[in-house]
């Protein structure tokens, strides 16, 4: 399966059902009255965390995801059926951004955790709900509200406790295949690992996840090798396990090169807990090994052999000890306030080609709900506009009798 860790999708929640116009006609009910029910609410759209998934591949061909619409209201005052919620499965560690503004919306870290991304529209009121003392039997109903629409950028940052760092072919895939349940591809050429692999390790009654990442080489910040493409997946790792091939010409310099690439990506990564190990030690003498270890100066280095399993238990115990005393990383995220109709009401009027264009969030909502095929509904709409102050604002802008007004695609003659 192709590994995909970033994708953009358009999401539209379900539309609310329209209210119904109906009248009560029953024996022994002298005056009858309105009898039309309210429409059902549109279905919400949720992202749901799935622990068994580690790629956004399933969203690759779902460019526009739509929620289920609510059913229209029915007679006898019955409310329409609410639209079913739409659930979008995503891997743990998925982060959601507004694709237009790049604002942070939220993320999912737990299995089966839900995140509401788009809310369904309200159902339109039926004429039984619109009756008043002055108009006890209206012959109109409201249309259902449209569901929220949002273009969302989904970014996957793999959730792992331990991230494997190192040059290609140092034995990272071999290490994770020995200590965990992961079965990555292993071969004797560079860049065998082209996407992250996760493995679960059980040790001393504690379980943790190890991420095998594609190899990083000097110059990755300039696009050499696979570049920084996968480095974002180590941002959430609590421990870095830096594996170095002891057969390299300069082991210590390789270590410094990787550290420098991490610094160029994000300096904060240099403060993360780190374990440095020398692999393939079964292939060199003890004298050569001691010289390599001494070149690291004050840095603690553990000699290991994935082939003979030398010191692997020691490394795992050290990881468990670090994780037991670990403090959670506080990530820097840009939060934002989601403004609703109750937060900001505005009226904006623009004159263009002798037509007055009127905008406003509550005005838009009233326009979408109004059934202009009904004369009474249109009168009610006009009354609401007057109460909102639209007419007075038009007069301030110089609007005169019989001038044309455009409100979200509907054109009217202004009558003062």
* Nearest to 353, CA basis, from 412, 395, 408, 405: 405
Name the segment(s) of the chain with CATH classification 3.40.50.300.
162-324
Question: In whole angstroms, what is the distance from residue 380 CA to residue 387 CA?
Answer: 11
| CA distances from residue 100 to 8, 65, 149, 170, 228 in whole angstroms, order as listed | 10, 17, 12, 41, 24
Please give the Cα distance from 253 to 250 (Å, whole number).
5
Q: Nearest Cα to 164, choosing from 86, 75, 244?
A: 244
Six-digit token string for 168: 């290609």
pTM, two decimals, is: 0.80
Q: Tokens representing 176?
A: 């994770």
Phi, psi of 344 (to 5 degrees): -135, 120
Residues near 112 by beta carbon (within 8 Å), at least 6 away in sequence: 48, 49, 50
241 close to 176: Cβ distance less than 8 angstroms: no
Q: Distances from the Cα of 155 to the Cαs of 126, 277, 331, in angstroms? A: 42, 31, 15
Please give the CATH superfamily to which domain 1-156 belongs. GTP1/OBG domain (2.70.210.12)
pLDDT of residue 385: 95
For residue 64, give the H/E element and its range. strand 64-66
Q: Where in the chain is the domain with CATH 3.30.300.350?
A: 348-413
CB atoms within 10 A of CB 309: 11
**Fold of the 162-324 domain:** Rossmann fold (3.40.50)
Angle at 179 between CA 110 and CA 183, to 5 degrees: 75
The helix/strand/coil state of 367 is helix
* Residue-by-residue DSSP string for 31-48: S--B-PPPPPPPPPEEEE
Q: How many CB atoms lie within 10 A of CB 155?
A: 16
Beta-carbon contacts of residue 184 (< 8 Å; ≥ 6 apart): 173, 176, 177, 192, 193, 197, 212
Contact 139, 127 (CB under 8 A): yes
* pLDDT (0 to 100) of residue 53: 82
Three-state SS for 385?
A: helix
Per-residue three-class SS string for 184-251: CCCCCCCCCCCCCEEEEEEECCEEEEEEECCCCCCCHHHCCCCCCCCHHHHCCCCEEEEEEECCCCCH
Give yes or no for a contact between 106 and 87, defined as CB atoms under 8 angstroms apart: no
Largest Cα separation within the chain, whole Å, is: 107
- 194 and 214 Cβ atoms separated by less than 8 Å: yes
Place of tokens 């990083």: 216
Burial status of residue 56 (CB atoms within 10 A of its CB: 0-12, 13-18, 19 or more): buried
Chain-centroid distance of CA 327 in Å reads: 25
As a whole number of angstroms, the distance between CA 4 and CA 231 comes to: 14
pLDDT in tens, the chain (416 residues): 466 889 999 999 999 999 999 999 888 888 889 999 999 999 999 999 998 787 898 898 898 999 999 999 999 999 999 999 999 999 999 999 999 999 999 999 999 999 999 999 999 999 999 999 999 999 999 999 999 999 999 999 887 899 998 888 888 888 998 998 766 544 444 444 456 778 889 888 888 989 887 767 776 666 565 556 667 778 888 999 999 999 998 999 999 988 988 888 888 889 999 999 999 999 999 999 999 999 998 899 999 999 999 999 999 999 999 999 887 655 555 544 454 444 557 899 999 999 999 999 999 999 999 999 999 999 999 999 999 999 999 999 999 999 999 999 999 999 87
The one-character DSSP state at 181 is S
SS3 321: helix
pLDDT of residue 71: 98
Residue 261 and residue 410: Cα distance in Å, rounded? 58
* Residue that is written with structure tokens 């609007």 in the block: 399
- Here the tokens at position 312 are 């692997």
Select 348-413's CATH number: 3.30.300.350, 3.40.50.300, 3.90.1640.10, 3.90.1300.10.
3.30.300.350
Residue 23 DSSP SS3: strand
């Amino acid at each position: 399966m192709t590994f995909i860790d970033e994708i953009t999708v358009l999401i539209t929640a379900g539309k609310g059902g329209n209210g119904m116009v109906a009248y009560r006609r029953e024996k022994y009910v002298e005056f009858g009255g309105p009898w039309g029910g309210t429409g059902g609410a549109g279905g919400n759209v949720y992202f749901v965390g799935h622990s068994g998934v580690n790629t956004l591949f399933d969203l690759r061909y779902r460019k526009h995801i739509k929620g289920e619409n609510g059913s229209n209201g029915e007679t006898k005052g019955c409310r329409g059926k609410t639209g079913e919620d739409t659930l979008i499965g995503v891997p743990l560690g998925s982060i959601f951004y507004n694709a237009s503004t790049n604002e942070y919306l939220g993320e999912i870290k737990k299995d089966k955790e839900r995140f509401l991304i788009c809310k369904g529209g309200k159902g339109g009121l039926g004429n039984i709900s619109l009756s008043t003392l002055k108009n006890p039997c209206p012959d109109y109903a409201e249309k259902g509200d449209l569901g929220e629409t949002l273009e969302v950028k989904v970014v996957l940052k793999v959730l792992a406790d331990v991230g494997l760092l190192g040059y290609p072919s140092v034995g990272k895939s071999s290490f994770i295949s020995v200590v965990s349940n992961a079965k990555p591809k292993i071969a004797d050429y560079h860049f065998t690992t082209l996407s992250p692999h996760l493995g679960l390790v059980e040790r001393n009654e504690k379980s943790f996840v190890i991420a095998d990442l594609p190899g990083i080489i000097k110059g990755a910040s300039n696009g050499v090798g696979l570049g920084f493409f996968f480095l974002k997946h180590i941002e959430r790792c609590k421990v870095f396990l830096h594996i170095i091939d002891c057969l390299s010409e300069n082991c210590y310099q390789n270590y410094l090169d990787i550290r420098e690439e991490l610094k160029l990506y994000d300096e904060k990564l240099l403060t993360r807990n780190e374990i440095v190990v020398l692999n393939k030690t079964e292939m060199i003498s003890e004298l050569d090994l001691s010289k390599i270890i001494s070149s690291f100066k004050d840095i603690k280095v553990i000699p290991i052999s994935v082939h003979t399993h030398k010191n692997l238990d020691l490394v795992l115990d050290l990881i468990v000890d670090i994780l037991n005393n670990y403090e959670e990383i506080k990530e820097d995220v840009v939060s934002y306030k989601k403004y609703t109709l109750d937060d900001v009401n505005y009226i904006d009027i623009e004159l263009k080609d002798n037509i007055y264009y009127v905008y406003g969030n509550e005005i838009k909502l009233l326009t979408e709900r109004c059934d202009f095929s009904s004369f009474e509904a249109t009168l009610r709409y006009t009354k609401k506009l007057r109460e909102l102050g639209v007419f007075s604002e038009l007069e301030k802008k110089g609007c005169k009798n019989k001038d044309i007004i455009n409100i979200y695609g509907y054109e009217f003659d202004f009558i003062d």
